[in-house]
Amino acid sequence: MKHSQAELKKIVARAGAKLTGVKILGVMCSATGKDQAGLAAIAVGSMRAQLTGGVFADTAFQFENGSELTITAANFADIEAVWTPFRQSFYTP
């Protein structure tokens, strides 16, 4: 599939914005596919802990842009509330 110059510029800009990320709890958190996969795995662990009465261990998450954010049971919902809409904004028709 060939892209026009304008389409290529949008693709490059979108990739740059994903890597730059969004500020969450004072940390610039990228929103790449690798970040999404990692955060999805953490979400599964969080849900598993809630369903089984277990403990969700604090997790030092390394974003693809090099930033690190410690995800805890207490802050995971706040992180998700900012990160998910940011990531989804790249796929709005």
| Strand intervals (E) in 19-90 | 22-24, 27-29, 59-62, 68-71
Mean per-residue pLDDT, 61-72: 98
Angle of CA points 30, 27, 46, to nearest 5°: 75
Query: pTM here?
Result: 0.85
Residue 47 Cα distances to 12, 21, 37, 73, angstroms? 35, 25, 15, 10
Give yes or no for residue 85 having a pLDDT over 80: yes
Q: How many structural domains is the chain composed of?
A: 1
Domain that includes residue 12, residue range: 5-91
Residue 93 confidence (pLDDT)? 78
Return mean pLDDT, the chain. 93
Residue 8 confidence (pLDDT)? 83
Indicate the pLDDT class of residue 21, thresholds 50, 70 and 90.
very high
Distance of alpha carbon 18 from alpha carbon 65, whole angstroms: 9
